[in-house]
Structure 1
């Protein structure tokens, strides 16, 4: 495929300005891709190109606190219910029809709650390596292995220290957190450079880290069954999220399907872009 670029625009939704990428025909079925930490909309370029060529209208926001979207200063502005309302407002601003949601990592956290609270907005839901949030909560309380894997979430609760350490030596710690937990050669140098440019934006690090801070300080109800059709894609080599949570998450879905990528890590959409895209496409057309 010939490399493409998103058509970016700013959209004012839920009281905030979001930087939103578009690809594919405006009249096509709407498919939203929600990135996770510490990425931004560009994380989905390979999947976006695949679906744009299939006739979909791809919509990829830089979520609140990331890249060129607004980055409120206060932790309370990153409550999960607010992050969800950003996407609700974005969806209704572009269509009156249910949409497809594809989400990874913390984008998946937003997507799970979106599906729980606003099922009428979603046609089908695809999650990559993010457990149902009630499953995550249970494992953080009762699963010592997951508690250990999630040490960084506790570290992020510390004042300004995480921002200072993450920013040292040209964001080396953040870079290594991705590169060392992915298969060798997963992230091209130009993508790492694009990530660093996004992290260098004013309040860029705090904006991302405040998602973790707000999650622990402003809990939301996450126990409801998910009634929309769900496809959960899981890289079995994820070093941060235990694979046991994948099956447990499917148990929270009325109509759920799990596909495990045995040799992929947390970054499966980068490592196996064609397999991920085809798995999503087959699910949408099955």
Structure 2
């Protein structure tokens, strides 16, 4: 049985707390979590993928959990988030390439990496996240997504979102994932792990700064080229934050891409259908 180990890795001026498993000489597979998670968002995937022979590396991205939390919104623009992962790949991969997977915001970073630094990406696995630029292109003309995205506008405010998210011991974040409400998916230890991550000094503001940095760069640029690396998109059909139209529009710019919708799964499909997600990833990789 593979074991998860932890390392602190310096990259792009920050130190990222990183979970790792699998043979050190195995193909590098970097998995990126989203909001409001941390490396734990991929906990159901790490060991099965490591046991299949991959060197699985899952950082707490900057601003999250035990990783560095640089101050200022500008520290969380997509280029900086991408360059953290480029540095990770350069440090850990002999051939300077990795298979990269991302869920939610981790998917946005993965898309941006494949769009702008594709030389570091062997294959791309995206779970419930459209390409950021596709989202910005579709959003103004697609009212069904407006309400789903309304929380993003709230997150732009100073201080108020931090106060709201901390209320009742992070009740809103808990409810967003369904931690306490779904004991068949999350143990009490899991709930405690998430809440411990959210109570790290500076974590909430840093996590929200990812949203506040949207206006600072990366999202608004036009899509200048297609994503040519092989892509597999896995999408829980019942996502209440992101409409399926965004997935369908994104796959159009991926000539080597495949979009798979999964029934009876939400935005949190990694947790809800781990066997399905793991099977779809391994099929794609092998």
User: In which range does the TM-score fall when normalised by the shorter chain?
Assistant: over 0.9
Superposed displacement of residue 284, structure 1: 0.9
The match for 2:119 is: 120
Q: Which moved more, 1:185-194 or 1:108-117?
A: 185-194
Q: Which moved more, 1:89-98 or 1:64-73?
A: 89-98
Q: Which moved more, 1:183-192 or 1:41-50?
A: 183-192
Per-residue deviation, residues 70-93 of structure 1 (Å, max 9, x unmatched): 011201100111000000011011
Superposed displacement of residue 188, structure 1: 2.7
The match for 2:28 is: 30
The match for 1:89 is: 87
Superposed displacement of residue 219, structure 1: 3.9
Q: Could you tell me which runs of 5 or more consecutive residues in structure 2 were left unpaired when the two chains were aligned.
A: none
Match status 1:232 vs 2:230:
no
Sort the Cα spacing of 1:139 and 1:192 in 2 relative to 1 into closer, same or farther, 3 A: farther
Q: Could you tell me which runs of 5 or more consecutive residues in structure 1 were left unpaired when the two chains were aligned.
A: none
SS across alignment from 2:284: helix
Sort the Cα spacing of 1:196 and 1:183 in 2 relative to 1 into closer, same or farther, 3 A: closer
Superposed displacement of residue 184, structure 1: 7.5
Q: Is the 8 A contact 2:79 2:218 kept in 1?
A: no
The match for 1:130 is: 129
Q: Is the 8 A contact 1:183 1:271 kept in 2?
A: no
Q: Which moved more, 1:4-13 or 1:65-74?
A: 4-13
Superposed displacement of residue 126, structure 1: 0.4
Inter-partner Cα distance in structure 1 for 2:9 and 2:212: 26
Q: Is the 8 A contact 2:18 2:58 kept in 1?
A: yes
Moved over 4 A (4+): none
SS across alignment from 1:64: coil
The match for 1:243 is: 244
Per-residue deviation, residues 204-231 of structure 1 (Å, max 9, x unmatched): 1011110000012334535131010000
Sort the Cα spacing of 1:134 and 1:276 in 2 relative to 1 into closer, same or farther, 3 A: same
Q: Which moved more, 1:136-145 or 1:270-279?
A: 136-145
Sort the Cα spacing of 1:169 and 1:140 in 2 relative to 1 into closer, same or farther, 3 A: same
Match status 1:154 vs 2:153:
yes
Inter-partner Cα distance in structure 2 for 1:259 and 1:135: 18
Per-residue deviation, residues 167-197 of structure 1 (Å, max 9, x unmatched): 11111111112118x9784333221211100
SS across alignment from 2:235: strand
The match for 2:215 is: 216
Q: Which moved more, 1:108-117 or 1:131-140?
A: 131-140
The match for 2:13 is: 15
Inter-partner Cα distance in structure 2 for 1:240 and 1:96: 38
Alpha-carbon RMSD: 1.7
The match for 2:168 is: 169
Inter-partner Cα distance in structure 1 for 2:226 and 2:279: 27
Inter-partner Cα distance in structure 1 for 2:182 and 2:65: 25
Q: Which moved more, 1:129-138 or 1:193-202?
A: 129-138
